[in-house]
Amino acid sequence: MSAVTTPQPKRPREEGGLTLAQRDARLAYALLAVPVLIVLAVVIFPLLWNILLSFQSLRLIDLRNLNLFSFTPTLDNYRRVLSSRGFMELLRTTLIYATFGTILPILMGLAAALLARDAFPGRSIWRGFMLFPYIAPIVAVAFVWRIMLNAQFGIVNEWMVDLFGAQRISFLSQRTIDLGMPGLHEFPLALSMVIFFQGWRYFPFSFLFFLARLQALPDNLYEAAEVDGASLTERFWFITMPQLRGVMGTLILLRFIWTFNKFDDIFLLTGGAAGTEIITVKIYDWLFGRSDVGAAAALSIILALILIVLLMIYFRWFFQEDEA
């Protein structure tokens, strides 16, 4: 780094007769070459190659003598994945998980942001705690939840038994539970738990966004409404909420994409058991459980296609509503 500390006399025209603009452009390309090459090699190339893999009959043990481009294209992988038992259920679980796993953290984040909007004693420490679930490593928090929800020695069961004399429940390995109400006789238990986990872990993200937006709202918006006699709840619905629409749209979009692609959380919490198998976990199962690289690639392409279609619907709906 000592080279840059010795100032060099600047000449208007460098060797080769390049203009300043040309030299700037050259420097820019040189500086951008590294990130562009890395992204091409580790993101774009694998992405395209994944498409090829999905049309290839390939098992894990064949990897060693794999030839990158010479293969007989086949649709077998797609056929196998789409016709496998439970594909429709897989799709359904994924959509339920992604939808409620998007809504719950956003609602919780909104609630927490509204609470933190006006100062209270200890607010800055409280705000720090709010971010814990989000910044803590996924393995640590997933296992704490597993132990808290454990049927034998988990604290949640312990409290339920003490307080209500309830039966012990294995929250994360029981598919459904009878809540004893009409329509709730087969309530999906494990799936609800992983959605609650989503709410707990990712609400801080929405919290930060909502809080930043709320604190930027001008006071005079509310003063006028107060003079007009709008109550607290009215002020919330008619002034605060419309102001949060933009943030809400962004959060729904980002959170849905990320939840839809999420692997770690369910893999660590349930391993996909008890009615919580989602597409990403199934991809892992095809790859290592069944050593079927081709089918895993095909399912990951299906995942990407479903996401693209859903995003197109979202954007159409979003822009139509804006025009209306």
Partner 1 sequence: MTYTRETIEQFLIGKVLRWIGILFFFLITAFPFYYMVLLSFRSIQNLLTDPGNLMPDWSLVASMETYINIMKPVSQGGQGFYTFILNSLMVATIATALTLIIAILAAFAATRLDFRGKGLINWGILLVYLVPAIVLAIPLFVIFSKLGFRATVERRLFGLIIVYLSSTLPVALYMLRSYFQTIPTALEEAALIDGTTRLGTIWRIIIPLSVPAIASTGLYVFMIAWNEFLYALLFLLEERDAWTLSLGVAQLNTQEVPKTMLMAGSVVITVPIIILFFFFERFLTQGLTAGAVKG
- Chain residues 199-218 in contact with partner 1, contact rule CB under 8 A: 200, 202, 205, 208-209, 212
100 binds partner 1 (CB under 8 A): no
Report whether 229 contacts 134 (CB < 8 A).
Answer: no
Residues within window 300-319 making contact with partner 1, judged by CB under 8 A: 300-301, 303-304, 307
Burial class of residue 109, CB neighbours in 10 A (0-12, 13-18, 19+): buried
Residue that is written with structure tokens 């990158």 in the block = 68
Q: Which long-range contacts (CB under 8 A, 24 or more apart) does 226-233 make?
A: none
Length of the chain, in residues: 324
Residues within window 166-195 making contact with partner 1, judged by CB under 8 A: none
Largest CA distance in the chain: 87
At closest approach, how far in Å is the CB of 24 from partner 1?
Answer: 5
238 binds partner 1 (CB under 8 A): no
283 binds partner 1 (CB under 8 A): yes
Q: Which two tokens stand for residue 38?
A: 């890395």
Strands 176-177 and 187-188: antiparallel
Of 71, 87, 258, 314, which one interacts with partner 1 (CB under 8 A)? Answer: 258
Nearer to partner 1, 68 or 88 (CB): 68
At closest approach, how far in Å is the CB of 324 from partner 1?
Answer: 27
- Phi, psi (5° rounding) for residue 179? -85, 5
> What CA–CA distance (Å, rounded) separates 154 from 50?
42
> What CA–CA distance (Å, rounded) separates 208 from 206?
5
Report whether 279 contacts 303 (CB < 8 A).
Answer: yes
Nearer to partner 1, 153 or 164 (CB): 153
- The residue count for binding partner 1 (CB under 8 A) is 97
Nearer to partner 1, 103 or 254 (CB): 254
42 binds partner 1 (CB under 8 A): yes
Of 95, 254, 306, 310, which one interacts with partner 1 (CB under 8 A)? Answer: 254
At closest approach, how far in Å is the CB of 189 from partner 1?
Answer: 19
At closest approach, how far in Å is the CB of 266 from partner 1?
Answer: 12
Residues within window 67-86 making contact with partner 1, judged by CB under 8 A: 68
Of 15, 16, 21, 324, which one interacts with partner 1 (CB under 8 A)? Answer: 21
Q: Which residues contact 243 (CB under 8 A, 6 or more apart)?
A: 213, 217, 221
162 binds partner 1 (CB under 8 A): yes
> What CA–CA distance (Å, rounded) separates 148 from 324?
48
Nearer to partner 1, 48 or 181 (CB): 48
At closest approach, how far in Å is the CB of 280 from partner 1?
Answer: 5
